[in-house]
Amino acid sequence: MSKGSIRKNLKERTRLIRRELQIRHQKLAENMQAAKEGRLDLKELNKLKIELEKPVRLSETLCIQIEDCHPSTGRYKRALPKGYQSDITAVNKAIQAQTENFITREVNGTTAQKFNKNLHKTIHLKNIGEEIHARRMKIIKAFNRKPKNGIQKIKEICAVCNVDAVEEHIADFFHKEKKNLDLEAVGDYLSGPDAENKAVLTAFTGKIDLTGQNFTQSLRRFLSAFKLPGEAQKIDRLVESFSEEYYKKNPGGNIANKDAGYILAFQTIMLNTDLHNPNIASNRKMDFNGLKRNLRGCNNGADFDEHFLQELYNDIKANPFEVNFIKIEPGYVIASSALNHDSTLNRLNSLLHSSIIEARHLFPGVGNTIKLTITQPKSWLTIFTGYEGTITLSNEHSTLASIQIYAPNFLSRWLFGKQPKVIIQPICKDGKAAPEAIELAAKIAASFETPVTSIKATYDYMKSDLQSRYAEKKKTAAQYELSPEKLQFLLKEGRFVVRGVRIQPGFKDLEDELKYLTTTRMNGTYKNVERNGQRGRCASLIVPGVKMELFTDIGVVYDADKSTIRAYMFHDGMTSISHGHDNFYNASKDKHKFEPFLSRQEFMEKYKEHCADPRFNHPRYTKYNEVNGNFFPESLIGLVGKNSNFDTKLKLYIAKYYLQNQHHLDLPMTLMVGGKVRIWKPDRSEIVGLLKIANKTKLNRSDFKLFEALANDIGYSWQYNGSLSQHTSGLHLFKTTTDVKSGKKSDEVEVPQPKSTVRLRRV
């Protein structure tokens, strides 16, 4: 979206906010007047303050805070109506005056400061709850971003109201807002070692009704209120608090004392992990006799009741603990701006409008049995959340994994951030992910160039399993990058990237292509890349109208540290420039950094210059090929290379292939030499000059025959290590004309009638 559109939307939203605030201001005008005249008590003043500072709701998903409308701090600087801020200030002053007046009031003719302080606390207890509720969204956002900041906001509210029982209000906030809070942060805070953390934990546990409750059900309720930490010391503090509270509320039952409750709670958590960990074989899981054996003599020197333990064991076996109230679906999350340049994500984005395709076209190593299904969201969901769609992977029997793609747009950036995001999840059945589903999800995550930023799972053991599988697949993917199998996969699937070239007749099959690629010396061989890391010459060539069987353009590009090798392949004219410019690199600039040598904008500028040249004003030059919505002239030829001898031979090869297939040399050719683009239109004098240069170089037999035929085509006799002598035979592609005014002779191209060109076919 352009800056102008962003500015326009911001102004429109500011106007809507201002209108809503003006309506609110008019409704509260009478109460404001009463507040300024001192006719409202403390409770009414607090209600008025809440109404004034209430956020503006523009939609179900978008709320604008009053602070954001203030000229000094907010984005909507002009949204606050005149007098609105002064009314908020007046109400705050009235509340402060009422509070001070109430505290210092004399009771029965004497100053009872202590009495007034306690009375002030009692009156404000409800006001504190209302104040915390009014600011709940700010506290929630601050806590989820950084827990200390959210806790500090609650402390500040308590300090303003002069109340000391901060831990009660923090614990109450945790219980009321558990659906909105990061429960991992809640568990981490409650299990902290400081006195403040312990006080909040005691208050938090005390607010859970455990009186007369079953032990396992009570433990379930306790553990569902937060995410159980992974550290043993933190788990110890949480379990100790629960056992003390449970024994205090249920004395004289099956548990002799709080220490027995502590041991039983710990053993129950261990039993749950043992029974429901898929990594533990079924014959090694704890049975009931094992549970009895572990708890022998732990109930204040005696054994626990066998019937009580049997019920506990059966309950845990049938229903595992949900140690997090918000159950987290396991999976990998990639959220990074680097995704904008990730080739795997780019391919996924291009396929979101497809129906059903095969996974092997996207992910190396995925079998032919895996199918991809695209699910597209409703347009409004994309606008508000940036959700682009879900790609589901399945085999003949079941669904195995899913890929969710999020791309930030103008509106979703405010709600979900500016970074694109990909979520890869193994599909769970009955709360468990099958091993093959985890295997496939890890393989997909490893295929992205951008590393995984976080791994989510309800249970820590599942998270560690996902981590180990991902590390294993990433290592395999790195080895696969340097293997002929990766090259073979890319060539079969026709990826749009190129590095190096061979102008050779087509090979019988792909194996011959790979064999040649590992042995050729013309373009910096794959073998040298793999063994020595040597960088070779680079070239690319496409001749319009020439069938792909005549020659094939394939090559490799590799990172300086040899951590990456990509195979590239041309399909049509300049297709690789449009599709592959993000992956088309000029390695000569910096051996530690690869940069695109030709961007789309640069290409279009060169192309406009090409079309504007009056020398090329011919119907053939205005004929285009459409490639995925982009139009490119048929006359374009790409060439990359810095070695002069190498460059000379390639130009002669181009000229020969042109004559062989087009029977003329009137088309201009776009050359890219050393990463720079220029237009080259060969004429007789330049071809002759190139042949003279080649005549002085060492040539093999095939080069000699080709150049001899080329010289004959333009009316010259070729004699190796000798001279070029002109004769009158040949194709007579050039004719000599004499300028009437100057009398000078010049070569002019004879332009034959345009032939129908053959579109390049994909191999």
For residue 454, pLDDT over 90 is answered with: no
User: If pLDDT is split at 50, 70 and 90, which confidence band does 101 have?
Assistant: low
Of 81-90, 152-161, 478-487, minimum mean pLDDT range: 478-487
Token representation of residue 356? 């059903």
Q: Are the C-beta atoms of residues 87 and 79 closer than 8 Å to each other?
A: no
Can you tell me whether residue 455 is helix, strand or coil?
strand
Strand pairing class (56-57; 585-590)? unpaired
Residue 242 pLDDT class (50, 70, 90 cuts): very high
The answer as to whether 705 is a domain residue is: no
Per-residue tokens: 245:
């509270």
pLDDT at 91 over 50: yes
- Phi, psi of 717, deg, nearest 5: -100, 135
Mean pLDDT (whole number) for 439-464: 80
Distance CA 510, CA 490 (A): 11
Q: Of 481, 508, 523, which one is at a domain's C-terminal end?
A: 481
- Judge if 377 and 513 occupy the same domain: no
pLDDT of residue 201: 93
* pLDDT band with cut points at 50, 70 and 90 for residue 29: confident
Average pLDDT score over residue span 545-557: 29
Q: Which residues is 455 bridged to in the sheet?
A: 332
Residue 745 falls within a domain, yes or no?
no
Domain check: are 560 and 631 in the same one? yes
Is pLDDT at 106 greater than 50 in this prediction?
no
Strand partners, 171: none
Q: Is 652 among the domain residues? A: yes
Residue 458, pLDDT score: 58
Read off the pLDDT of each residue in 402-416 and give the average, rounded to a whole number.
72
In a domain, 668, yes or no: yes
Tell me if 385 is assigned to some domain: yes
- Give the residue-averaged pLDDT of 429-457: 82
Same domain, 570 and 447: no
Instruction: Using the predicted structure, report yes or no on whether residue 134 has a pLDDT greater than 70.
Output: yes
Three-state SS for 375? strand
Q: Average pLDDT, stretch 94-121?
A: 51
Helix (H) or strand (E) holding 736: strand 734-738
Higher pLDDT, 674 or 756: 674
Residue 125, pLDDT score: 47
Q: Does a structural domain hold residue 533?
A: yes
**The pLDDT of residue 203:** 92
Statement to judge: residues 576 and 544 lie in one domain: yes
From residue 351, give the alpha-carbon distance in Å to each of 345, 373, 376, 389, 447.
10, 10, 11, 10, 16
Instruction: Indicate if 629 and 498 belong to the same structural domain.
Output: yes
**Does residue 72 fall inside a structural domain?**
no
Shared-domain flag, residues 341 and 477: yes
Q: What is the DSSP string of 6-62?
A: HHHHHHHHHHHHHHHHHHHHHHTHHHHHHHHTT-S-HHHHHHHHHHHTPPEESSSS-
423 and 566 share one domain: no
**Cα dihedral 118, 122, 125, 128 sign:** negative
pLDDT tens across 229-239, in order?
Answer: 866 678 878 98
**Where does residue 173 rank: exposed (0-12), middle (13-18), buried (19+ CB within 10 A)?**
buried
Query: Which one-letter DSSP state was computed for residue 145?
Result: H
CATH number at residue 369: 3.30.310.140
pLDDT score of 455: 86
Say yes or no: 477 and 492 in one domain. Answer: no
DSSP string, 494-559: T-S--------PPPSSHHHHHHHHTT-SSS--HHHHHHT-----------TT--TTT---EEEEE-
In 3D space, the residue among 394, 399, 357, 353 whose CA is nearest the CA of residue 376 turns out to be: 353
Residue 17 vs residue 636, higher pLDDT: 17
| Residue in 556, 598, 604 with CA at minimum distance from that of residue 576 | 598
**What's the average model confidence in pLDDT over 132-159?**
82
Checking if the pLDDT of 472 tops 70, the result is yes
Parallel, antiparallel, or unpaired for β 421-426 and 331-335? antiparallel
- Look at residues 437, 453, 481 and tell me which one is the last residue of a structural domain: 481
Task: Check whether residue 445 and residue 571 sit in a common domain.
Answer: no
Question: What are 716's strand-pairing partners?
Answer: 726
Tokens of 9: 């939307």
- HSE-CB of 44 using CA atoms within 13 angstroms: 12
The alpha carbon torsion through 278, 279, 285, 286 (nearest 10 deg) reads: -90
CA dihedral 427, 433, 436, 437 (to 10 degrees): 20
User: Within a domain: residue 223?
Assistant: no
Tell whether the model's pLDDT for residue 204 goes beyond 90. Answer: yes
Centroid of chain to Cα 512: 38
Q: Residue 688's pLDDT band (boundaries 50, 70, 90)?
A: confident
Mean pLDDT of the chain: 65
For residue 621, give its domain range: 482-682+750-763
> 113 is written with which tokens?
């400061």
d(CA 81, CA 24): 10
Q: How many domains does the chain have?
A: 2
Do 405 and 498 lie in one domain? The reply is no
Q: Kindly indicate the confidence band of residue 280, based on its pLDDT and cuts at 50, 70 and 90.
A: confident
Q: Kindly state the average pLDDT of the residues 131-136.
A: 74
Prediction pTM value:
0.35
Most confident of 314-318, 321-325, 522-526: 314-318
Q: Which residue has the tokens 């007789």?
A: 684
pLDDT computed for residue 400 by the predictor = 87
- pLDDT for the residue numbered 211: 84
Higher pLDDT pick, 719 / 286: 286
Arithmetic mean of pLDDT, 436-463: 81
Can you give the pLDDT at residue 431?
Answer: 58
Q: Does residue 412 surpass a pLDDT of 50?
A: yes
Cβ within 8 Å of residue 281, ≥6 positions away: none
Mapping DSSP to helix (H, G, I), strand (E, B) and coil, where does residue 717 land? Answer: strand
CA geometry: angle 153, 156, 159, nearest 5 deg: 155
- From the number of C-beta atoms within 10 Å of its C-beta (0-12, 13-18, 19+), residue 505 rates as exposed
Of residues 665 and 548, the one with the higher pLDDT is 665
Q: Kindly tell me the burial class for residue 753, based on how many C-beta atoms sit within 10 Å of its own C-beta (0-12, 13-18, 19 or more).
A: exposed
pLDDT per residue over 322-378, tens digit each? 654 445 678 898 888 778 777 778 777 767 765 545 566 567 667 677 877 887 776
Quick one: 469 and 600 in the same domain? no
pLDDT of residue 45: 83
Quote the tokens at residue 277. 């960990």
- Cα–Cα distance measured from residue 98 to residue 79, given in angstroms and rounded to the nearest whole number: 31
The pLDDT confidence band at residue 617, using thresholds 50, 70 and 90, is very low
Residue 752 is given by DSSP the state: -
Q: Would you say 175 and 129 are in contact if contact means Cβ atoms under 8 Å apart? A: no
SS3 assignment, position 422: strand
CA distances to 35, 69, 386, 416, 518 from 412, rounded to whole Å, are: 40, 20, 6, 6, 48
Q: Does position 481 have pLDDT exceeding 70, yes or no?
A: no
CA distance 374 to 353: 7
The answer to whether residues 690 and 652 touch, using CB atoms and an 8 Å cutoff, is yes
- By 3-state DSSP, what share of the chain in percent is helix, strand and coil, each rounded to 5? 50, 15, 40
Rounded Cα–Cα distance for residues 640 and 677 (Å): 9
Q: DSSP string spanning 666-700?
A: -S-EEEEETTEEEEE---HHHHHHHHHHHHTS---
Q: Are residues 522 and 652 in the same domain?
A: yes
pLDDT exceeds cutoff 50 at 538: no
Least confident of 3-7, 91-95, 562-566, 655-659: 562-566
Sign of torsion over alpha carbons 302, 306, 307, 308 = positive
131 burial class (0-12, 13-18, 19+ CB within 10 angstroms)? buried
For residue 188, is pLDDT > 60? Answer: yes
Beta bridge partners of 56: 64
Here the tokens at position 528 are 């040298």
Q: Which of 481, 500, 518 is the last residue of a domain?
A: 481
pLDDT category at 523 given cuts 50, 70, 90 is very low
How far is the CA of 238 from the CAs of 223, 262, 425, 578, in angstroms?
A: 9, 10, 31, 59
